[in-house]
Chains A and B, each alone.
Chain A
Amino acid sequence: MATSTSSSLLDLMTLKRADWSILVQIEEKIGEQDPKSCFECMKCTSGCPAAEFLEMYPHSIVLAVREGLAEEIINSDLIWRCAFCLKCRERCPQEVAPSDLIIALRNIATDRGIGVPEDLNTVLNSIMEMGYIHPPMKVFSRRLRKTYTREELGLKVMRGPKDMDAFREALMSAFEE
């Protein structure tokens, strides 16, 4: 079972071949990920608040990628459980950012259409449509039992980018280049 579509740690345990070609793709992503510098002090793992949800600890993710096993991690939902608190990045003595490595892996998973949480896609669509992650919401006052819009609270309406077509065109061009 060199490849698997399931998303458990078992994939890693049964993997036969390592593949380093993906390391190049990871290093090309914008960020401070550099799995090769890790000397396994485990500071990232000891401070990670998401560790309880992870089948693999942050330092193990770094090591697995370094050892050519990134493929299995990209296919797992492990990468979507980091809260991006950046404690690992702050505390790493080697300036490896496990958080940025996870972002790079998420980017690659997105390119391949694997496991992207639906809400993130919704957010992207909304940004393309109006520039923000969602439209202005009416807010509820628990105490006054009333809902309010921005205007009703004396705030200016925020309309997002003035020329939405130019905005979308520019965003797509940044993405494609």
Chain B
Amino acid sequence: MESSLSYALYLGCMIANEEYAYEMSAREVMRELGVELVDLEGESCCGSPIRSLNTKLWLYLAARNLSLAEKTGLDVLCLCSGCFESLLEAKHFLDSERGLKNWVNRALALEGLEYTGKCEVKHLVQVLHDDLGVEVLRKRVKRELKGLKLVSHPGCHLLRPSRVLRADDPEDPRKLDELIKASGADVIDYPEKLDCCGAGLLLMKPEGTLSFAGAKLKSLAARGVDGLVTVCPACHLVFDKRQGAISRQMGIERIPVIYYPQLLGLAFGIEPEKLGIHLNSSPVEKILSRI
């Protein structure tokens, strides 16, 4: 064990029930790095999807997951950017307004829980880049992914609102790019890097999602990149699982979409199947064949 880092792993709805490859690869990579992950028993939705219906329901759900994490005494590690934004923003409101904290604790008591605000919330990108560091990752690389030309999709909820999240520069994010470079691959910048995947419209106006994601994929296909790297199950679902529909509709060439820990795991020499690569719908074999 090289590191003594431990986190309470919060999965959230999409990873717990659908996007299994992200969890598989994150667990594999963290094991390799000696990072301990403690499961959050009894976790639930972070509340984000129903914030639109009622902000109190959102705040309660976020607070209950944070209070479960507090019981472990560890900081929370989020793989999902949507959950990351939701938990941190809820924490921001709960910690800045005493009335809200008292209100939420009266309800939490019915579940035998208490929210104090003592735990920090971190995204996978921060844990890898800030807590562990790019050098630690690079030392573990057994198979450099030389010659791959990749792009990152940092995603909205890793970056904004930056005043609350403080994860990376909101207008010029570099951390995910640095992490990709640690695998030996090349990263290029592109004008649509900050653009939204459109997942937020999936439950309200799904054709909007395809239009958002299609614009980004079209630009990337024209640039001839070897792959798009994601760090959020919602973004990944849109770019990977929905890519078939998008490319049929827009007539664009398909490109591989891969979770960052899947990419890092490949560079660590971990078997693709342990990283859930076989669950990606986009043509990831194009990446595998280059390694």
Q: Which residues of B contact A177 (CB under 8 A)?
A: 103, 106-107
* A49 / chain B contacts, CB cutoff of 8 Å: 195-196, 198, 212
What's the minimum C-beta distance from A50 to chain B, rounded to whole angstroms?
Answer: 7
How many angstroms between the C-alpha atoms of A136 and B18 in the bound complex? 6
Which of A9-17, A35-43, A59-67, A158-166 lies at the binding interface?
A158-166
Residues of A within 8 A of B18 (CB): 134, 136-137, 139
Task: Select which of B49, B51, B110, B159 is within 8 A of A173 by beta carbon.
Answer: B110
Contact A175 B57 (CB under 8 A): yes
CA distance A87 to B103 in the complex (A): 30
Chain A residues with CB under 8 Å of B42's CB are 159-162
Q: Which residues of chain A come closer than 8 Å to B85, judged between CB atoms?
A: 86
Check B44–A142 contact: CB distance below 8 A: no
Interface centre among A133, A142, A177 (most CB of B within 10 A): A133
B 148-165 contacts with A by CB, 8 A: 156-157, 159-162
Report if A31 contacts B (CB, 8 A).
yes
Q: Can you name 27 A-B pairs with beta carbons within 8 Å?
A: A29-B55, A49-B198, A81-B201, A85-B196, A86-B85, A87-B194, A87-B196, A89-B161, A90-B161, A104-B55, A107-B54, A110-B54, A116-B53, A117-B203, A119-B202, A123-B203, A127-B61, A132-B16, A137-B18, A150-B20, A153-B20, A153-B279, A155-B20, A161-B42, A161-B44, A170-B111, A174-B107
By a beta-carbon cutoff of 8 Å, the part of chain B in contact with chain A is 11, 13-14, 16-18, 20, 23-24, 39, 41-45, 49-57, 59-61, 64, 85, 93, 100, 103-104, 106-112, 156-157, 159-162, 170, 194-196, 198-205, 208-209, 211-212, 276, 278-281, 285
